[in-house]
A and B are shown apart, each in its own frame.
Chain A
Amino acid sequence: QKEVEQDPGPLSVPEGAIVSLNCTYSNSAFQYFMWYRQYSRKGPELLMYTYSSGNKEDGRFTAQVDKSSKYISLFIRDSQPSDSATYLCAMSAVAQKLVFGQGTRLTINP
């Protein structure tokens, strides 16, 4: 079993919809949680970085961490075609390497 599980999709939604992306994990030592966006043939781009349980909002993006359930989410409001990309969750314990999910491929249809 992988330490981090992420549904690879693909996920296709209409423009303007609210998108929910999720990851589950098994390592209770994970304390740092990130979301990256990766466009085709580009490097991952850091979207959100959170340390604790709860919500963090940045513009149209909200990251949610539930440590009790070992579950993290990224919500995208008012989705745009430019949001079409692969979204990677990543997490780490203190002084440990980042462990990435496999990524979810998202398409926003105009």
Chain B
Amino acid sequence: DSGVTQTPKHLITATGQRVTLRCSPRSGDLSVYWYQQSLDQGLQFLIHYYNGEERAKGNILERFSAQQFPDLHSELNLSSLELGDSALYFCASGHGFYLEDEQFFGPGTRLTVL
């Protein structure tokens, strides 16, 4: 158990809908990273927050947004969902400030868009 929690574990929704994924980092970690894992693309970096501030963006679609709250938990919002958004979404947390610092992954949220 990495100490990172993610809810919900599974999410099934329809095209065009909006969902929110939640992540609580390990105690003491200030960084939260979001990733998408699909069979064809593998693990892809989406976005990084450090202590409430956005630090870096990766391959994140404009339909997706995220934020990190004062208590350091983070939410990833996915809107206007498409079939291709079906994937595993992981958050990771770390103590460091940089993208290349050690990251500890949560158990993931499996999103299915029908």
Total chain B interface residues with beta-carbon distance under 8 A: 22
Q: How far is A57 from B103 in the complex, measured between Cα atoms in Å?
A: 19
15 contacts between A and B (CB under 8 A): A34-B102, A43-B2, A43-B90, A43-B106, A44-B43, A90-B43, A93-B100, A94-B98, A94-B100, A95-B98, A95-B99, A97-B48, A97-B56, A98-B45, A98-B100
Please pick, from B43, B90, B92, B100, the residue contacting A96 in the complex, using a CB distance under 8 A.
Answer: B100
Q: How far is A88 from B44 in the complex, measured between Cα atoms in Å?
A: 12
Question: Does residue B52 face the partner (Cβ distance < 8 Å to A)?
Answer: no
- Closest Cβ of chain A to B91, distance in Å, is 9
Q: How far is A93 from B99 in the complex, measured between Cα atoms in Å?
A: 9
Stretch at the interface among A58-66, A71-79, A100-108: A100-108
- Closest Cβ of chain B to A68, distance in Å, is 21
Q: How far is A42 from B110 in the complex, measured between Cα atoms in Å?
A: 10
Q: Can you name the residue of chain B whose Cβ is closest to the Cβ of A51? A: B100
Q: Is the interface of A mostly helix, strand, loop or mixed?
A: loop
Q: Which residues of A contact B58 (CB under 8 A)?
A: 97
Question: Does residue B64 face the partner (Cβ distance < 8 Å to A)?
Answer: no
Contact with B along A7-40 (1 / 0, CB 8 A): 0000000000000000000000001101010000
Tally A-B pairs: CB < 8 A: 53
Total chain A interface residues with beta-carbon distance under 8 A: 25
Please pick, from B42, B45, B100, B107, the residue contacting A43 in the complex, using a CB distance under 8 A.
Answer: B107
Q: Which residues of B contact A88 (CB under 8 A)?
A: 43
Q: How far is A92 from B103 in the complex, measured between Cα atoms in Å?
A: 12
Contact with A along B86-111 (1 / 0, CB 8 A): 00001010000011101111111010
Q: Which residues of B contact A99 (CB under 8 A)?
A: 45
Question: Does residue B4 face the partner (Cβ distance < 8 Å to A)?
Answer: yes
